[in-house]
Amino acid sequence: MRRVFLDMDGVLVDSIPYLLNYHDLEHCWEEWGQGNYDIYSNTGMSSQDFFDVDAAVWFDMPKTEWADELVDLCLDNFDTFIITSSFPEAMRAKYMWLQKYYKDFNMNKIIFTWRKELLANRNDVLVEDYIINAELWEENGGTALICPQPWNNNNDIDHVFRSLKGMI
């Protein structure tokens, strides 16, 4: 069975808009530079300061509008893993977030790593929002599908679903 790795932040979790609100920077969302993930140039905050928030903040983040449909499709048709980058403080909260929203998900299939590409194999698929992670995944032999976010120039979530359905 083909393995699918779902990223959390930007794919399942609507983290950037939530963190912008948390830091009173909501206006930055409308002004976010297309194709530019750099936190500092979009917010004036370092990535460390932007993402280094209390664990409870991570736990309270909302799902993306497509998260449930994506998780259901993958659980029904693929060997599905959650793969996420994380500061140590957020790991427990992300785990609890998954338990809150996806009780049926096998919690032994959650992988915390900053080096997602090390898990890529020829038949593996990464559903990701960050272009650099997607490119590294593909350089290591996997297939990457990009979920739409302002920083990746993709605005077609239907492409992700069509691609996954075509792999069934």
* pLDDT at residue number 137: 98
Question: Residue 36 domain-assigned?
Answer: no
The strand pairing partners of 143, in sequence order, are 125
pTM, to two decimals: 0.93
What does each C-alpha distance from 78 to 3, 104, 126, 159, 167 come to in angstroms?
6, 14, 12, 17, 9
* pLDDT at residue number 91: 87
Question: Residue 81 domain-assigned?
Answer: yes
Rounded CA separation 109/81 (Å): 5
DSSP assignment of 65-106, as one string? Answer: TTHHHHHHHHHHHSEEEEEE---HHHHHHHHHHHHHH-TTS-
Question: Residue 65 domain-assigned?
Answer: yes
Domain residues for the domain of 63 are 3-15+59-166
Question: Residue 113 domain-assigned?
Answer: yes
In this structure, which amino acid lies at residue 76? D
Question: Residue 139 domain-assigned?
Answer: yes
* pLDDT at residue number 123: 93
Which CATH number characterizes residue 105's domain? 3.40.50.1000
CB under 8 Å to 123, separation ≥6 — which residues?
2, 3
* pLDDT at residue number 11: 97
* pLDDT at residue number 116: 96
Low-confidence ranges of the chain (pLDDT < 70): none
Question: Residue 23 domain-assigned?
Answer: no
Question: Residue 35 domain-assigned?
Answer: no
* The token pair that represents 105 in the structure block: 């998900």
Residue 113's closest CA among 92, 144, 82? 82
What does each C-alpha distance from 10 to 96, 109, 122, 167 come to in angstroms?
17, 19, 24, 23
Q: Which residues of 60-79 are buried (b: 16+ CB within 10 A; e: fewer)?
A: ebebbebbeebbebbbeebe
Quick: pLDDT tens for 128-145. Answer: 999 999 999 999 999 999
* pLDDT at residue number 20: 95
* pLDDT at residue number 37: 86
* Structural domain total, the chain: 1
* pLDDT at residue number 30: 83
* pLDDT at residue number 76: 96
* pLDDT at residue number 56: 87
* pLDDT at residue number 48: 85
